[in-house]
Structure 1
């Protein structure tokens, strides 16, 4: 009966002594939950006084230093924002050239002087277009085959040069300073509203079969030169070009000379040897046709893309018509601007690469063009100021 009559204080003490340290707090709470009045207050007071303090140094440190941490975070955010803005400004400065109301000062030979940092002494004065006398009267064999030279294709070329021309229009020759724009075919031209600005340049160079009709507000309507190869020739050139537009053939293979000769001389058409069927009827004036000097293909491949001239692979890497057109412009013009260059990111597989049709970057897989390497080459030209961009790149 005496054991049964033990005081509640003694029973509580025994319970606490049997609890682990971490559990004693719970035991104390359960004990004191049954106590009321002064006994409960004394029991809680005696327990609180005797129990060890819970570790809280980390919480105290964070509490005391919270304002310092917030200040450091704010500083880091400010630095990140400043860096991003400065990089964006630099990006715009290098790769984007907004249209100005007044013409940019044009200095004769300025473009070629700047690009000499890339071309070096390798780039000397070269004829833009091939002419008959260079092959008929002077027997100077080319060092490379097409597209970097004419080795092995001289006989075909002679027949083509006999019915075409090579002169640069007098309206361009008499200019003291030639302002040129190379209009690419990129998707970023869509809704650009650059048409009016593009028409103001002295020389407007276009590529392949890129249309003008229906897109005049974005790409303009003036075409001084159009670079093409048989597979990229527009089936009705009079629709997309001006009456005085020069159609400049970029020959990638000997069959290209066969095609242009059969068209201009109305001979039996060549149907094989092309990756895509070129036009079999092509309504053009032979005096509008020019044959681009393969020198520009060679220098674009060698100096801009570091490609070997002799490539053993079946599908050889070669510059695009766009990069070739920029290289040509840097030798023909004193001021060179570009628009509509650049491809979507490789991850963006659904965005069109052209402003006028829905084909994606996947179509470039077997083209023999290294678009990433070409992007770096164009960025180098932008950085040194040899060309300026009318669209973002």
Structure 2
């Protein structure tokens, strides 16, 4: 019988962990891991945190040691991509034009930054943050200090980049069309706390304003806001979200809508093709709806889940969305989904003014999301509350004397 071949398109965290899991689960066939970047697989959180702050070495971000792939007989092709998928022939064509037959295919192609399409957007000094190379270039631009930095977008990437720019000793202005940072991720209540945090560290926030264009002669020198203001800038960081890299799937005729549509086993509309990570729009059995999650934990857990499903295991991928962030002296973790319209109440437990507390988003009396701020080792209890789906008493939820485990 010919050796089975499993191809993984995308050598990020999801793809690398899928390859690792295939070997751990005893798969003895060919594993081909194809990555467009010249770096071996790495994790992305350090790019806006430790590596960007020059507090962690480059190698710490890598998923495996350099020799891991050879030792585990994983064929890693960097600087290469899957250019096309021929489902009928069960074959992919690489960017090198090489055809590869597959038995199972995993699409872990990730996402790409949304670009600002405004006048002056091609000027030098405008940075996007997605890859190791992006982070290295941005660190070089920020590290001298004393620069005028404008950050477009007050989501997680924008806030972390703003914090890094301040810690490198730069002047920072943050421009965001929503009324508070993180409005789409957690609503106005906690978004206001992050606004206060950045103002306390000297960041100028221009809320309810967008970016209309850039000025400069070759190099950016100012950002023009939607309100007509001109904000001086030596460095611009754009963090306005990402788009899933679903072109391959779409051209192959797979079902696509805001990412590649997959079931609770991360299987696409083709039974031999799976998708994981940022690109997968998966049915979540606990939430009862589809959700596309762009955070680190989804790649970390989704890659292994897809690998087990490719091996024929009975997989139900129901990991709750999880995210963590470090900004200045504030560290936080968040579980669940709490976009505006998805909750009707926020309950706090602990020292909110001192920023050592938990926040819970409730819908119909049930916890749908929770965040711990400078309070640790509670994520398991928070996620248990969400998973239970039980109504909770808001007064008991707010009482630090009531163990969270008693409420689940």
Superposition TM-score, scaled by structure 1 size: 0.23
Instruction: Give 1 or 2: higher helix fraction.
Output: 1
Instruction: Give 1 or 2: higher strand fraction.
Output: 2
Superposition TM-score, scaled by structure 2 size: 0.22
